[in-house]
Amino acid sequence: MLAGISAWIRQNDKKIKIIGVEVDDSACLTEALKSNKRVLLKKVGLFADGVAVSQVGKHNLDVIKECVDEVITVNIDEVCAAVKDIFEDTRVLSEPSGAVALAGLKIYSKKIKNKNLLALSSGANVNFQKLGFIVERSELGENREKILSIKIPEQPGSFLKLAKVFGKLPVTEFNYRKSNKEEAFVLVGIRTPSEKSFIKLKNKLKKLKYKFNDYTSNNISNDHLRHMVGGRVSSANESGHNERIFNGEFPEKPGALLEFLRNFGTNWNISLFHYRNIGSAYGNILIGIEDPNNNKSMLLKHLDKSGTIFKEESNNRAYLDFLK
């Protein structure tokens, strides 16, 4: 679409600027332009499956290099917000791929003024299972909901004291798990009317000596942690000292989860597991694995043979705060 339309526009009106938009987890064109050659991505996100491409076409790349002015990327939350915008403005339900261009337009519009902007939307093949995820994540994509991890004293009255800090700001969720006798972490969702009000809230927390982290853009927190109930390993003598955490996804099909577990085998012990299907396109998994081996590459090689591409998240702050 980008190559064809840009070629036609360049022949008819050279004043028009053409901006390509990709989802950041499948940005094969962006990588190709950086490298000045076609690049094959090792992993491609499948949420916006209509644009989930691992390598840009040779002739497409040639045309785009000549005819397109710029290429930008958007994340899944921004795509979900664009799906919501299209529905609210037109009552048309776009699939994620069809909303990618509008998500890019919303970002691009912030840096220019007094220009006519046009986003091309193509695709209405959204499946019903994805709607809940889109609704949930559109709040983050619109920058309306913020996710904070806040450390509080483990003592009576701590929750009430923290709640007073939020005042009349709507709390969208409040998750707690005891850490030890001295302190606890609370995962809080806050809906703020503007970025300015969020900065004001963070400054208030700092002034009151609260230690906190902003997890609004943390994928582990958004994909898994908010939906999990669990605890920690109580002693360093148990699995906690050698647990490694990996995040992965695979195309969803009947028996896909069972197939993965069979491929994983029984050589390593699974210490944590969370699977979440966000539509028929793919399943998202977070897995903790006990790895007592000094050679850390052995587990990575084993996972490569499982048929699923994983990214290690053992140092992710959300994991360390709530599950380690």
Domain 2-141 has CATH 3.40.630.40: no
Tokens of 199: 């900065």
Q: Tell me how far apart the alpha carbons of residues 82 and 133 are, in angstroms, rounded to a whole number.
A: 13
Best CATH choice for the domain 145-217 from the list 3.30.499.10, 3.30.2130.10, 2.130.10.10, 3.90.1150.10: 3.30.2130.10
Phi-psi region of 307 (alpha: psi -120 to 50; beta: other; left: phi over 0): left
Residue 52: which of 304, 251, 248, 226 has the closest Cα? 251
CA dihedral 21, 221, 195, 144 (to 10 degrees): 80
Q: Tell me how far apart the alpha carbons of residues 9 and 11 are, in angstroms, rounded to a whole number.
A: 5
Q: Do domains 2-141 and 226-322 have the same CATH topology?
A: no
Q: Tell me how far apart the alpha carbons of residues 137 and 131 are, in angstroms, rounded to a whole number.
A: 10
Q: Tell me how far apart the alpha carbons of residues 30 and 56 are, in angstroms, rounded to a whole number.
A: 9
CATH architecture designation of domain 226-322 = 2-Layer Sandwich (3.30)
Roughly how many angstroms between the first and final C-alpha of the chain, as a whole number?
46
If one counts every other C-beta atom within 10 angstroms of the C-beta of residue 107, the result is: 14
The per-residue pLDDT for 206 is 95
Residue 286: which of 306, 313, 255 has the closest Cα? 313
DSSP letter at 170 equals: P
Residue 315: which of 249, 243, 263, 227 has the closest Cα? 243
Is 63 exposed, middle or buried (CB count within 10 Å of its CB: 0-12, 13-18, 19+)? Answer: middle
Per-residue pLDDT 10s for the chain (324 aa) are 999 999 999 999 989 999 999 999 999 999 999 999 999 999 898 889 899 999 999 999 999 999 999 999 999 989 999 999 999 999 999 999 999 999 999 999 998 889 999 999 988 878 777 787 787 778 777 777 888 999 988 777 787 788 888 887 877 777 765 666 788 788 888 888 888 889 999 999 999 999 999 998 887 887 777 776 555 655 544 545 688 999 887 766 656 667 777 788 888 888 777 765 555 456 677 888 889 888 889 999 998 888 788 889 999 988 888 777
Each domain of the chain, given as residue ranges in start order, spans 2-141, 145-217, 226-322
Question: DSSP E strands: which ranges in 24-158?
Answer: 70-74, 145-153
User: Residues 219, 203: contact at Cβ < 8 Å?
Assistant: no
